[in-house]
Amino acid sequence: MTASTDHIAVDILPGGPALPQERRLVTAIPGPRSQELLERKAAAVPVGIGHTVPIHAVAAGGGVVVDADGNSLIDLGSGIAVTTVGNSHPKVVEAVQRQVASFTHTCFMVSPYESYVAVAEALNRLTPGDHEKKSALFNSGAEAVENAIKIARKHTGRQAVVAFDHGYHGRTNLTMALTAKTMPYKHGFGPFAPEVYRAPLSYPFRDGLSGAEAAKRAITMIEKQIGGDQVAAIIIEPIQGEGGFIVPADGFLPALVEWCRANGVVFIADEVQTGFGRTGRMFASEHFGIVPDLITTAKGIAAGLPLAAVTGRAEIMDAAHPGGLGGTYGGNPIACAAALAAIDAYETEDLPARATAMGSVIVDRFTEAQRGDARIGDVRGLGAMVAVEFVDPATGEPDAALTSAVAKAAIAQGVIVLTCGTFGNVIRFLPPLALGDELLNEALDIVTAALAAA
Ligand code: PMP
């Protein structure tokens, strides 16, 4: 099918779960049509906007992405943890179609509408804690994080914000300051927002500390270098995403929350990547028994439509004065319709349980591989958020070259895998939960074979 105007013609095809759920290579990756489009991209789009998989998508559904040459790739990345319910989930498609034919926009700050309020109610109900909550909607994860910090500062009347080593919170000015890794996220883009401090994380594979020891190290740094009464907020991903899917040691997060409560500091859990069933619970905070004051969400919330949220204690959320929060598109009705449909799918299709089942398949495969392969330093994760960290067996040093070679080889074989990590030495698995076991295992066969051959 070609959608066209007088001047623009773009190849699109029907997608959704009806798309054959198969890996199918009919050309090399990239094929000639994708190659041609990549050349157009290079001429029209700045190099700063990179890409991981050298194809151009024309359709996607369930757990596969079809490219312009007719190749069908198994998706183990969900567009970075977004299409968790599966690409073009039927409920999402129907809800979006209905909404787009009804109205596309009023601006919630001009004329409110019910779907925004319904998304806020769902978030208030689903996020951890039974206290009174409120939610505000935005467009992107970075925007949600920016607003969470605004709210925490206004509530506390303080300025300092503490983020952590290996943290990732976005690419806007304030969120670049919060993000740890310079290349590619920050390098040359300063000056960065002031009053952002970085504390050491719990990274069991690399620091060998207990949760209590790692928390003590972080809290000592905060108290000695900033002062507890100066801190508006601590922001942390319960499991760090871009930083390498780092699961903190038991007790680390609860100790930070306890310190925040004792010092009047707002604890913000950035669940942009971990939220919405991904880790086997609706929110990763639940695994650690913590109740954040504020929680930021995006990605999986609306199955690919741009939507993000800040949810938290009503008294903190209400600290911002009328008109102090918002934006033209925040909580756009089409994105809200998609979110309500996606949330319905998470709940009625028991997707968190599916995430747990898929995660154990992935972990088992790599734990098995690790027995005979000392290059696999660590296999970790929760639910369908699994990482494999590669090291040089002789030195234990991160092996980014091996990681990139394995990912490239898997992609060439029709499996979309993503890498991450401060040291670039982690392959991360974020499959759509609509992916069946047969395709999941086929994809893992390819990744493990690529590792054996590397
Ligand atoms: N926080 C976390 C934990 C993320 O993983 C991301 C995106 N990778 C962001 C914030 C930023 O989200 P966005 O790209 O939608 O701005």
Residues carrying CATH 3.90.1150.10, the chain: 2-88+351-453
Q: How many CA atoms lie within 13 A of 374 on its CB side?
A: 6
pLDDT tens-digit series, residues 103-148 = 999 999 999 999 999 999 999 999 999 999 999 999 999 999 999 9
pLDDT tens-digit series, residues 39-93 = 999 999 999 999 999 999 999 999 999 999 999 999 999 999 999 999 999 999 9
Using the mean position of ligand 1's atoms as its centre, give its distance from the Cα of residue 308 in Å.
10
CA nearest ligand 1 atom 13, residue: 141
Tell me the two tokens of residue 276: 């919405």
- Is there a contact between 166 and 240 (Cβ–Cβ < 8 Å)? yes
Residue 430: what pLDDT? Answer: 98
**Residue 156 pLDDT exceeds 80:** yes
- CATH class, 2-88+351-453 region: alpha beta
Tell me the two tokens of residue 283: 């929110």
For 157-190, what is the HEC assignment? CCCEEEEECCCCCCCCHHHHHHCCCCCCCCCCCC
**Residue 7 pLDDT exceeds 70:** no
Ramachandran sector of residue 397 (left: φ over 0; alpha: ψ -120 to 50; beta: rest)? beta
- Residues 301 and 218: their CA atoms lie apart, in Å, by 31
Ligand 1 atom closest to Cα of residue 241:
5
pLDDT tens-digit series, residues 258-307 = 999 999 999 999 999 999 999 999 999 999 999 999 999 999 999 999 99
**Residue 33 pLDDT exceeds 70:** yes
**Residue 6 pLDDT exceeds 70:** no
CA nearest ligand 1 atom 12, residue: 141
- Residues 403 and 420: their CA atoms lie apart, in Å, by 9
Beta bridge partners of 386: 381, 429
Residue 9: what pLDDT? Answer: 66
Residues carrying CATH 3.40.640.10, the chain: 92-348
Cis peptide before 352 (omega within 30 of 0): no
CA nearest ligand 1 atom 1, residue: 169
Using the mean position of ligand 1's atoms as its centre, give its distance from the Cα of residue 179 in Å.
10
Smallest CA-to-CA distance from 235 within 218, 210, 212, 214 is with 218
Q: Give the mean pLDDT of the chain.
A: 96
92-348 topology per CATH: Aspartate Aminotransferase; domain 2 (3.40.640)
Q: Which residues line ligand 1 (CB under 6 A)?
A: 80, 140-142, 145, 168-170, 237, 241-242, 270, 272-273, 298
- Residues 337 and 339: their CA atoms lie apart, in Å, by 5
Ligand 1 atom closest to Cα of residue 139:
15
pLDDT tens-digit series, residues 138-152 = 999 999 999 999 999
Using the mean position of ligand 1's atoms as its centre, give its distance from the Cα of residue 346 in Å.
20
**Does pTM surpass 0.75?**
yes
